[in-house]
A = this chain, B = another copy of it.
Amino acid sequence: MSSTAFMVNGFDVANAHKVEPHMQELIARRAKALGPSYKLFYEHPVHFVRAEGVYLYDADGTPYLDVYNNVPSVGHCHPRVIEAVNKQMTTLNSHTRYLNERILDYADDLLSTFPAEMSNVMFTCTGSESVDLAMRIARFHTKGTGFIVTRNAYHGITASVAEISPTMGPYVPVGQHVQMVEAPDAYRTEPGVDVGEAFAKDVERAINDLERHGIRFAGMIVDTVFSTDGLLPHPAGFLKKAVDVVHQRGGLFIADEVQPGFARLGDSMWGFQRHGILPDMAVMGKPMGNGLPIAAVVAKPELLAEFGNKVRYFNTFGGNSVCIAAAQAVLDVIRDEKLMENSKRMGEYILNGLREATESHPGVGDVRGAGLYLAVEFVKDKKTKERDGEFALRLVNALRENRVLISATGLGGNSLKIRPPLPFTKANSDEFIDIFKKTLEQIS
Distance, CA A402 to CA B36, complexed state (A): 52
Task: Decide if A310 is an interface residue (CB 8 Å cutoff).
Answer: yes
Q: B313 near A100 (CB under 8 angstroms)?
A: no
Q: B98 near A35 (CB under 8 angstroms)?
A: no
Residue of B nearest to A108 (CB): B33
Given contacts A99-B26, A286-B316, contact A122 B37 (CB under 8 A): yes
Contacts of A46 in B (CB 8 A): 98-99
Residue of B nearest to A110 (CB): B33
Contacts of A98 in B (CB 8 A): 40-41, 45-48, 56
Residue of B nearest to A286 (CB): B316
Chain B nearest CB from A94 CB (Å) reads 6
Residue of B nearest to A41 (CB): B97
Contacts of A39 in B (CB 8 A): 97, 312, 314
Distance, CA A125 to CA B285, complexed state (A): 13
Chain B nearest CB from A29 CB (Å) reads 5
Chain B interface: which of A128-136, A189-197, A239-247?
A: A128-136
Task: Decide if A120 is an interface residue (CB 8 Å cutoff).
Answer: yes
Residue of B nearest to A70 (CB): B316
Distance, CA A314 to CA B71, complexed state (A): 14
Q: Which A residues between 122 and 147 are near B, CB-CB below 8 angstroms?
A: 122, 125-129, 132-133, 135-136, 140
Contacts of A93 in B (CB 8 A): 51, 72, 76-77, 290-292
Distance, CA A27 to CA B104, complexed state (A): 10
Distance, CA A126 to CA B127, complexed state (A): 12
- Offer 26 A-B interface pairs, CB within 8 angstroms, sorted by A: A26-B100, A27-B99, A29-B108, A30-B99, A33-B108, A33-B111, A33-B119, A34-B120, A35-B299, A35-B305, A38-B308, A40-B97, A45-B99, A51-B93, A72-B93, A81-B89, A82-B89, A93-B291, A125-B126, A126-B126, A135-B159, A160-B160, A168-B312, A171-B311, A292-B323, A293-B294
Q: Which of A7, A36, A133 has the most CB of B within 10 A?
A: A36
Q: Which of A35, A77, A99, A317 has the most CB of B within 10 A?
A: A99
Partner of A312, one of B49, B126, B169, B311: B169
Chain B nearest CB from A28 CB (Å) reads 10
Chain A 283-313 interface 0/1 with B at a Cβ cutoff of 8 Å (1 = within): 0011000111110000101001101111111
Task: Decide if A393 is an interface residue (CB 8 Å cutoff).
Answer: no
Task: Decide if A85 is an interface residue (CB 8 Å cutoff).
Answer: yes
Chain B nearest CB from A252 CB (Å) reads 16
Q: A293 near B291 (CB under 8 angstroms)?
A: no
Chain A 424-438 interface 0/1 with B at a Cβ cutoff of 8 Å (1 = within): 000000000000000
Q: A159-B159, A285-B316 are in contact. List 10 more A-B contacts (CB 8 A).
A: A34-B120, A35-B121, A39-B312, A49-B91, A56-B94, A72-B94, A94-B291, A158-B158, A160-B160, A291-B317
